[in-house]
Structure 1
């Protein structure tokens, strides 16, 4: 036996076993220290600004709505007295207030419906035009959307002016139509129709741009499959496009309701700072009670009721979004 045969064979280490999997699903993520507090730290500046900007006005609004506060209290001649729910009782028992509420709801619903229908129609049409035309239309939409409200209201006042209005002149060129000198603001319904067009004109660009972005996410394969199954244009829109756009439509509709119920400068400027009774909506009515009648407490009560109505709209929106999230 040689010396090479008498050497001790090298020991081979046993193979390492793979660590057991973390679980049947995705690998377990390691929690970093302070990870739960990081989102709150990032949100802290925004929350602080919201508290500083909105907390005091909201607290002051609630306080005034439970007090008797007029000009004597404003100038310090008398101290404000607590009246409990007296302001709310007076407001809710006033028939004029309920007429304003109904007018506001009708006005907001009309604006929202026209905005969503016009916005959806324009968004669908934008999918069928060439690239340069789509770019040009988007530039026009952004320009009109960025126009200040006061400027847009002034332009509409000129368009519908009874003496120099372009709209009356154009209508008068139609056979059998004579609109020269017609005053659109002589009656409430006609005047509010003009203001509705102004609000819709300012809101449509945002809806069109948002829906156009949503339409790019609709799979073309689903549309082609629906057409192969015999569905027409309306069928494809109803059964394919609309369900996919539902979260965006719910969001836009809710935001439109909030914005349209909060309309103020369009009515205020269009009526030269003194809206007549048939033009009053909740915001202008609250302003009128506070700064024209000088009943700041009752104006605050009306404003607080308006906030509660809008919170109801927000609650419906959150419920719809949660239902959509559960389905997905």
Structure 2
């Protein structure tokens, strides 16, 4: 026999049995099979705070809007009387109220349009600048966004002051322009345009930062493919960038409408606490009826109608978001 025949053959280990899959355990302690209570438990502190902070004022607002409540009721000389829908009938039948509603809608629409257009242009430009310049611009945007509204309004009052405003002095240096002593608040349209500029200035940073974050999610491959197919810059933006940013644009537009419909401190401070009739918006008009005329019931009715109007905007927003979710 050869040496190869005398070697002992190696023993092959028997195959191991396949591990058995563990059966799923029953529902964990403290939650049901679908885990429904867990999200509600996590949201409970936030919901409790919302109920405490917003619940009572909202209930009080609704209650006052159905009562006769003036200074006599405020000081306790007379009890509050329930008048049903009389306050709403009086407000809705007042032509001044509808003029204020129309002025507020036009003002808010102008603010939203200019905010979104300027914000989109700046966000697109930020994609084409160097890194250090982009960081510097973002710092400036955050600083301006964080400026208190009262401070920003005071600065704008100085800029557009008829006697000491720097804007009149700068514009007067242009050939054929003489604006020394010009009062921008002599008429309602000019004054509201100044206030609109102030609102847009304060809202643009948030829009720019949000849209810049959204633009980073646009695939470069799709833009390059569109350019290879012959699309120009506008075509790429319209057919590639804009559809991807649509959920963000819908969200920003809705938030801007809600914020701009609720403008109060800009008008109140800019007009020294006494807005004239041509400067009245829904928020200042409600305040004026409640605390200047001392008709708290009508002021509450106007505020409640404003809330209902904003709820309609929120309903449109939710519908658009649901449509976007179904398409995706």
TM-score, normalised relative to structure 2 = 0.92
Deviation of 1:89 after TM superposition, in Å, equals 0.1
Say whether residues 1:173 and 2:203 are aligned partners. no
Find the counterpart in structure 2 of residue 39 from structure 1: 39
Which 5+ residue runs of structure 2 have no aligned equivalent? 1-13
Map Cα deviations across residues 27-77 of structure 1 (whole Å, 9 max, x no partner).
x99854413211111110000000000000000000000000000000101
Distance 1:137 1:274 in 2: 36
Q: How does 1:247-258 map to 2 (within 5 A)?
A: 247-258=247-258
Distance 2:25 2:145 in 1: 44
Find the counterpart in structure 2 of residue 9 from structure 1: none
Any idea what SS the aligned residue of 2:88 has?
helix
Residues 1:222 and 1:157: Cα distance change in structure 2 (over 3 Å): same
Say whether residues 1:162 and 2:165 are aligned partners. no
Map Cα deviations across residues 250-288 of structure 1 (whole Å, 9 max, x no partner).
000000000000000000000000000000000000000
Find the counterpart in structure 1 of residue 195 from structure 2: 195
Residues 1:17 and 1:282: Cα distance change in structure 2 (over 3 Å): same
Say whether residues 1:208 and 2:212 are aligned partners. no
Deviation of 1:18 after TM superposition, in Å, equals 7.4
Say whether residues 1:283 and 2:283 are aligned partners. yes
Find the counterpart in structure 2 of residue 85 from structure 1: 85
Map Cα deviations across residues 217-250 of structure 1 (whole Å, 9 max, x no partner).
0000000000000000000000000000000000
Deviation of 1:316 after TM superposition, in Å, equals 0.4
Choose 225-234 or 36-45, whichever is displaced more. Answer: 36-45
Find the counterpart in structure 1 of residue 129 from structure 2: 129
Residues 1:111 and 1:31: Cα distance change in structure 2 (over 3 Å): farther
Residues 1:31 and 1:228: Cα distance change in structure 2 (over 3 Å): farther
Find the counterpart in structure 1 of residue 315 from structure 2: 315
Distance 1:295 1:196 in 2: 29
Residues 1:172 and 1:31: Cα distance change in structure 2 (over 3 Å): farther
Residues 1:128 and 1:16: Cα distance change in structure 2 (over 3 Å): closer
Which 5+ residue runs of structure 1 have no aligned equivalent? 1-11, 23-27
Find the counterpart in structure 2 of residue 6 from structure 1: none
Say whether residues 1:184 and 2:184 are aligned partners. yes
| 4+ aligned runs moved over 3 Å, structure 1 | 12-19, 28-33
Find the counterpart in structure 2 of residue 234 from structure 1: 234
Distance 1:261 1:83 in 2: 28
Distance 1:132 1:276 in 2: 46
Residues 1:31 and 1:133: Cα distance change in structure 2 (over 3 Å): farther
Find the counterpart in structure 1 of residue 49 from structure 2: 49
Any idea what SS the aligned residue of 2:61 has?
helix
Deviation of 1:15 after TM superposition, in Å, equals 6.0
Map Cα deviations across residues 183-221 of structure 1 (whole Å, 9 max, x no partner).
000000000000000000000000000000000000000
Deviation of 1:16 after TM superposition, in Å, equals 5.3
